[in-house]
C-alpha cells in the first residue's frame, strides 16, 4: 500500500503507524533530496507551479506502483479534481471520499466539467452525510452514480458513555474544532457569550483546537472582555482531556460534513448543542438527544443555548439518550466497515477509461 499527500505530517501517530506497517509514503509537496523549505519557496513564487509539481510527483508514483485501486480523500467535495485527472488519464480505478460539502463553496465554471467527470468515472463516491451527497449533486447539476454515506472513525470509546461530571462549579461547555471561524463559527459564539445574560450565568466555554486563527480569536475574546471563556488549545485525548470534565458540546459551525465531534460527544454521553448545518441534525434529534440551532447565526445559536439552559436539569437523561441513539447510527469500527467496501471495489476489477488530455487540467489550474 502507498500513501501520497502534500505536506505529510510525519510526526503524527497515524503516519508513524503507516511507516511501521511498511507503507510507502510520498510527500507530494517536496523536492527529492532537498530540504522541505525549497518547495515552500518555490510554491510561494508560483502557486500554479507548486501544484503542477505535486501532480507530476503523483503521476510518477502511480506509474511505478500501478495500484489496483486508489482512494482519493478530499477535504471538501470537489477539491481533488486535479488529482482525479491524473488517475483518469492513467486509467487507474479510483473511489472518492468527500469529507465536507457546503453552500459557501462552489466550483468555478472552468472546473465544472472536470469535477463532473471526476464523479462520473469514480467507482464509488463516499459522503459523510446525506446532506453532503444531496448538495454535491445540486452543485454538479447531475445525479452521482455509486454515491453512498459512510462514517468516519472516532476517538471516543464505544463500550459505554462516561460518568456524568460534577456540576458544582457550573456548567462547562466545550467548543471543539479547528480555529477557523470562517467555517467553524467561533466568532459567533464569542458574541453570544458576550451577551449580558450569559455573562451573568454560571456557564463557561472552553475552546479546544488548533489553527492559524487562534490568536485572532483570543484577542477577540479579550476585546469583548470575556472572562467566561478559555482557550486550552489542542488536546489529543478527547475522552479524558475534554469529555471527562465537560457537560456539553457547543458547535456554532457554518460548514461541515458530519462533525466527528458530534458523534464523539454523543458516544461519550454528553449533550450536543450545534447548528442545523450538513449532517448534524441527521444524527442528533432536537430536544431529544441534543439541541439544534435553526441556522448558523448568533440569534439562532443563542436561542438553542437558551433552550438548553432551561432544560439543564434534564441534561443527564438527554445525554444518556444520545449515547444510546448514536450507537444505532454508526458502526463500532467504521474503518473496518469502509475497508470491506474498498476490498469489494478491488474485487470487481473495474478499469477506468482515460480522460481527455492532461495538459488541459494544468492549463485550467494555472488560470
> DSSP string spanning 188-217?
HHHHHHTSHHHHHSSEEEEEE---TTHHHH
Q: Which residue has the higher pLDDT, 152 or 367?
A: 152
pLDDT of residue 71: 96
Q: How many helices (H) and strands (E) does the chain have?
A: 17, 12
pLDDT tens string 117-174: 999 999 999 999 999 999 999 999 999 989 999 999 999 999 999 999 998 889 999 9
pLDDT of residue 349: 63
Residues 6+ apart with CB under 8 A from 70: 62, 87, 92, 93, 94, 95
Domains of the chain from N-terminus onward: 2-154+333-366 (3.40.50), 171-326 (3.40.50.2000)
259, 267 contact by CB (below 8 A): no
- The pLDDT of 215-232, averaged and rounded, is 98
Helices 81-90 and 47-65: crossing angle, nearest 10°? 40
Q: Which residue has the higher pLDDT, 32 or 302?
A: 302
pLDDT of residue 310: 98
Question: In this model, does residue 361 exceed pLDDT 50?
Answer: no
176, 238 contact by CB (below 8 A): yes
Question: In this model, does residue 207 exceed pLDDT 60?
Answer: yes
- For the question of whether the overall pTM of this predicted structure is more than 0.85, the answer is yes
275, 262 contact by CB (below 8 A): no
- The pLDDT of 214-229, averaged and rounded, is 98
pLDDT category at 350 given cuts 50, 70, 90 is: low
Least confident of 25-34, 177-186, 210-219, 228-237: 25-34
pLDDT tens string 246-258: 999 999 999 999 9
Distances (CA, A) of 253 to 22, 271, 294: 38, 16, 12
| Count of beta carbons in the 10 Å neighbourhood of residue 259 | 28
186, 205 contact by CB (below 8 A): no
- The pLDDT of 83-92, averaged and rounded, is 96
CA angle 147, 72, 184 (to 5 degrees): 80
Amino acid at each position: 500500500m502507498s500513501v501520497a499527500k502534500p505536506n505529510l505530517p510525519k510526526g503524527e501517530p497515524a503516519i508513524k503507524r503507516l511507516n511501521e506497517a511498511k507503507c510507502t509514503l510520498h510527500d507530494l509537496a517536496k523536492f527529492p533530496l532537498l530540504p522541505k523549505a525549497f518547495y515552500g519557496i518555490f510554491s510561494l513564487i508560483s502557486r500554479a507551479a507548486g501544484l503542477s509539481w505535486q501532480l507530476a510527483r503523483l503521476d510518477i508514483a502511480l506509474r511505478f506502483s500501478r495500484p489496483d485501486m486508489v482512494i482519493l480523500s478530499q477535504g471538501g467535495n470537489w477539491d481533488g479534481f486535479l488529482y482525479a485527472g491524473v488517475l483518469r488519464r492513467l486509467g487507474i480505478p479510483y473511489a472518492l471520499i468527500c469529507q465536507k460539502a457546503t453552500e459557501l463553496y462552489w466550483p468555478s465554471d472552468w472546473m465544472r466539467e472536470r469535477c463532473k467527470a471526476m464523479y462520473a468515472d469514480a467507482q464509488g463516491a463516499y459522503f459523510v452525510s446525506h446532506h453532503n451527497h444531496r448538495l454535491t449533486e445540486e452543485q454538479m447539476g447531475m445525479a452521482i452514480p455509486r454515491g453512498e454515506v459512510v462514517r468516519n472513525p472516532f476517538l471516543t470509546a464505544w463500550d459505554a458513555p462516561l460518568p456524568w461530571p460534577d456540576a458544582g462549579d457550573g456548567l462547562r461547555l466545550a467548543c471543539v474544532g479547528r480555529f477557523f471561524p470562517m467555517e467553524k463559527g467561533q466568532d459567533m459564539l464569542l458574541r453570544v457569550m458576550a451577551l449580558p445574560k450569559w455573562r451573568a450565568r454560571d456557564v463557561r466555554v472552553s475552546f479546544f483546537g488548533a489553527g492559524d486563527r487562534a490568536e485572532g480569536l483570543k484577542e477577540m475574546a479579550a476585546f469583548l472582555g470575556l472572562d467566561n471563556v478559555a482557550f486550552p488549545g489542542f488536546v489529543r485525548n478527547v475522552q479524558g482531556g475534554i469529555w471527562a470534565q465537560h457537560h456539553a458540546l457547543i458547535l456554532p459551525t457554518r460548514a461541515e460534513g458530519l462533525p466527528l465531534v458530534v458523534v464523539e460527544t454523543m458516544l461519550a454521553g454528553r449533550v450536543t448543542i450545534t447548528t442545523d448545518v450538513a449532517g448534524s441534525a441527521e444524527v442528533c434529534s432536537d430536544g431529544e438527544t441534543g439541541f439544534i440551532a435553526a441556522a448558523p447565526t448568533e440569534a439562532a445559536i443563542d436561542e438553542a443555548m437558551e433552550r438548553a439552559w432551561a432544560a439543564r436539569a434534564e441534561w443527564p437523561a438527554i445525554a444518556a439518550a444520545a449515547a444510546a441513539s448514536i450507537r444505532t447510527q454508526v458502526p463500532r469500527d467504521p474503518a473496518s466497515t469502509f475497508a470491506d467496501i474498498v476490498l469489494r471495489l478491488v474485487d470487481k476489477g473495474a478499469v477506468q477509461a482515460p480522460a481527455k488530455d492532461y495538459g488541459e487540467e494544468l492549463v485550467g489550474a494555472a488560470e
